Structure 1
């Protein structure tokens, strides 16, 4: 019976100054690092995901010159660019698995990505016997939501650490948290973990 920490998309393009900056993104990066410093030993698996989009093309309609900010977005997190790298405030030494997602197509959930060795997040969690996972990261109303819902669907008990996430919009983030609670995720602050 193992436990995992899922760190979703804490990247330069999603934090202050990035192509799709989320207010509070840098604060989340620093807070996740502080949390990791105190709690690394609580987890058997620590997975961190990154959007990692192809430089050429529209990535399956994900990039658009006139984005709708629902299904299409401005260019962001292009593979190999500084925007796709982890925020420098995020300490990644304890991460056991790095996942890249969205190569050539839209991808919101870390479960849609793969590790450098080609493993899916679902396979990593199953192999480690993970039965519970804590989810943190960016953005509450998009990739955190999708990743946490997929973790629930994978049969993992999920807690979203609400003080370690940041969303694009206040209303859409609140709606995402309500949806996650209805799906069976527990909403807690990190001090309660």
Structure 2
């Protein structure tokens, strides 16, 4: 049995200074880095998810209700969609990007980013490739939108990737406790994984996260 750590959406737009900041996001990025540095040997695999919006329709709104609609955030290829600079990517093996053309809260909706889109230590802010498969272009002659990921037969989702690496046990951390962390954890349970959320390595939008935690526990998620 393999064990994986899933780092959910620790991106610039979800941290202080971003377009949809969650209080404590920047500090969490550093705390997750410290945790990974100290505990990476306890995991066989470490992956990260990213909101990666091209045109998600009603998910973006000029008058958001902050339940089903939100201000523009994590637009594909922009600095806001990049992982926060305080999140150390040394041990991250794969990146899964979600929500190109629709709302997507769960990391299990994400598609594997190509190797050339993986951040490196010498990457300058704002220099992340738009991402996608070999079919993805910016301003080229294909029908793909700039920054999009091909979703054809060769697309690899998070569940596919975890299964191919014999993962049965996942641990989830990241942003936000009451939205993408919760959705990822509950989808993990539905997909048949043993799921633990490290409560101290998440931050939420709501001031009261008891309902979100209770929903995860009721769904079979272990809260540690």
How high is the TM-score relative to the length of structure 1? 0.93
- The 5-angstrom pairing of residues 1-193 of structure 1 reads 1-54=1-54, 57=55, 59-117=56-114, 118-171=155-208, 173-188=209-224
What is the CA deviation profile of residues 110-150 of structure 1, one whole-angstrom value per residue up to 9, with x for unaligned ones? 10010025311101111111111110000001100100001
Shift >6 Å, 4+ stretches: none
Q: d(CA) in 1 for partners of 2:217 and 2:101? A: 31
Structure 1: give runs of 5+ residues left out of the alignment.
Answer: 189-193
- SS of residue matched to 2:57: coil
Q: d(CA) in 1 for partners of 2:107 and 2:223? A: 19
Q: d(CA) in 2 for partners of 1:69 and 1:6? A: 24
Between structures 1 and 2, the one with greater helix share: 1
What is the CA deviation profile of residues 73-104 of structure 1, one whole-angstrom value per residue up to 9, with x for unaligned ones? 00000111111000011011111110111101
Partner of 1:191: none
Structure 2: give runs of 5+ residues left out of the alignment.
Answer: 115-154
RMSD: 0.9
Q: d(CA) in 2 for partners of 1:133 and 1:109? A: 14
Q: Which moved more, 1:93-102 or 1:117-126?
A: 117-126
- SS of residue matched to 1:75: coil
How high is the TM-score relative to the length of structure 2? 0.80
